[in-house]
């Protein structure tokens, strides 16, 4: 692992370097093949900015943190980097596990036919007033799941729908 330190308008103290080496040792356990690490320290107008660029085998990470204190910036940057690496490893691990399950599950899924009853959302309604029986006939004739209509005798809307048990439901305001 090659570590490069860059200090822009900041002093690279042995304390900061030792802290970085300690945190990078933990990083080495999380990532298998770390090739390069660039630690860039920058101070501008009472703001300390820490940038960490990690180039590993097939992956690159860039973390930038800015606080008034340099050690706090480094601490937050390393914490963010470790969190990001753990998250990416968990995603990769889950993807690998899921990939095996999906391939095995795909073969029987091709033989299983699709279910006959599918719900497709659409707006079907009638502007002319009608009775409940006529609305049910329209529902069956159009082979839809829901039918919206105006009640006979009043101008209020009502909805008739087909329930899962095969019966009909009515919704009125």
Q: Return the CATH number at 139.
A: 3.30.505.50
The H-or-E segment that residue 39 falls in is strand 34-44
Tens of pLDDT along 55-75? 888 788 899 999 999 999 999
pTM > 0.85: no
For residue 130, count other CB atoms closer than 10 A to its CB: 18
- Contact partners, residue 171, CB within 8 Å, separation at least 6: 158, 159, 160, 161
Q: Which structural domain range is residue 155 located in?
A: 125-171
119 inside domain: no
Same domain, yes or no: 94 and 57: yes
Overall domain count for the chain: 2
Residue 87, helix vs strand vs coil: helix
pLDDT bucket at 119, cuts 50 / 70 / 90: low
- Write down the residue that tokens 């980097």 correspond to: 81
- For residue 119, the Cα-to-chain-centroid distance in whole angstroms is 26
Please name every residue paired with 41 in a beta bridge, in sequence order, or none if there are none: 7, 50
């Amino acid at each position: 692992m090659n570590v490069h330190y860059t200090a822009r308008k900041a002093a690279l103290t042995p304390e900061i370097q030792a802290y970085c080496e300690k945190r990078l040792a933990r990083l080495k356990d999380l990532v298998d093949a770390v090739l390069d690490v660039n630690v860039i320290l920058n101070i501008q107008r009472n703001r300390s900015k820490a940038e960490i660029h990690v180039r590993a085998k097939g992956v690159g990470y860039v973390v930038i943190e800015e606080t008034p204190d340099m050690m706090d910036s480094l601490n937050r940057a390393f914490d963010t980097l470790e969190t990001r690496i753990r998250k990416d490893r968990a995603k990769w691990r889950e993807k690998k596990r899921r990939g095996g399950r999906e391939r095995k599950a795909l073969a029987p899924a091709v033989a299983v036919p699709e279910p006959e009853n599918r719900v497709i959302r659409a707006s079907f309604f009638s502007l002319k007033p009608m009775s409940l029986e006529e609305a049910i006939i329209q529902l069956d004739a159009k082979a839809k799941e829901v039918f919206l209509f105006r009640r006979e005798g009043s101008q209020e809307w009502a909805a008739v729908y087909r329930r899962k048990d095969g019966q009909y439901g009515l919704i009125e305001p």
